Amino acid sequence: MARPPAGSRPPRNGGVTMADIGRLAGVTQVTVSRALSTPSKVSPQTLERIRDAIRRTGYVPNALAGALASSRSRLIAALVPSVTNIVYSSLLHAFSDIMWSHGYQIMLSEVGADPEREEQAIAAHLSRRPDAVLLTGVHHSPGARLMLVNAGIPVVEVWDLTETPIDCCVGFSHENAGRAAADFAWQAGYRSAATVTAAEERARRRRDAFADRFGSLSGSRPAGLDFGRAATLGSGRAALARLLEQGMAPGTVVFCSSDQFAQGILVEAAARGLAVPRDVAVIGFGDQDFAASTEPSLTTIRIDRQHLGRVAAEALLDRFAAEAPGPGVHDVGFTLTRRNSA
CA distance 55 to 52: 5
Between 63 and 218, name the one with better pLDDT.
218
Do 284 and 212 have their domain in common? yes
Do 91 and 39 have their domain in common? no
User: Residue 68 falls within a domain, yes or no?
Assistant: no
CATH number of the domain to which 40 belongs? 1.10.260.40
In the listed set 61, 96, 111, which residue is the last one of a domain according to the structure? 61
CA distance 104 to 272: 52
User: Residue 339 falls within a domain, yes or no?
Assistant: no
**Mean per-residue pLDDT over the chain, rounded:** 89
What pLDDT is attached to residue 323?
58
CATH number of the domain to which 87 belongs? 3.40.50.2300
Do 83 and 108 have their domain in common? yes
pTM of structure: 0.79
Structural domain containing residue 25 = 1-61
Could you count the other beta carbons within 10 Å of the beta carbon of residue 242?
Answer: 14
In the listed set 10, 33, 61, which residue is the last one of a domain according to the structure? 61
pLDDT-based confidence at residue 1 (cuts at 50, 70, 90): very low
Do 221 and 295 have their domain in common? yes
Task: Tell which residue, 74, 111, 106, has the closest CA to residue 92.
Answer: 106
pLDDT, one tens digit per residue, over 123-153 is: 999 888 899 999 999 999 999 999 998 888 9
CA distance 25 to 49: 5
In the listed set 38, 61, 84, which residue is the last one of a domain according to the structure? 61
User: Residue 28 falls within a domain, yes or no?
Assistant: yes
User: Residue 69 falls within a domain, yes or no?
Assistant: no
Contact by Cβ (8 Å): 161, 171: yes
Which of 82-86, 151-155, 205-209, 218-222 is least confident?
82-86
Do 115 and 235 have their domain in common? no
User: Residue 341 falls within a domain, yes or no?
Assistant: no
Do 183 and 274 have their domain in common? yes
Domain tally for the chain? 3
User: Residue 338 falls within a domain, yes or no?
Assistant: no
For range 258-264, the mean pLDDT: 96
Do 241 and 289 have their domain in common? yes
Contact by Cβ (8 Å): 196, 256: yes
Taking CA 88 as the corner, what is the angle to CA 240 and CA 84, rounded to the nearest 5 degrees?
A: 70
Do 181 and 248 have their domain in common? yes
What pLDDT is attached to residue 301?
98
User: Residue 66 falls within a domain, yes or no?
Assistant: no
Do 127 and 112 have their domain in common? yes
For range 155-178, the mean pLDDT: 96
How far from each other are the two terminal CA atoms of the chain, in whole angstroms?
70
pLDDT, one tens digit per residue, over 47-100 is: 999 989 888 877 766 655 555 455 577 899 999 998 888 888 899 999 999 999
Do 167 and 193 have their domain in common? no
User: Residue 316 falls within a domain, yes or no?
Assistant: yes
Do 182 and 293 have their domain in common? yes
What pLDDT is attached to residue 6?
44
Q: Which amino acid is at 82?
A: S
Do 91 and 57 have their domain in common? no
CA distance 55 to 251: 69
CA distance 256 to 262: 6
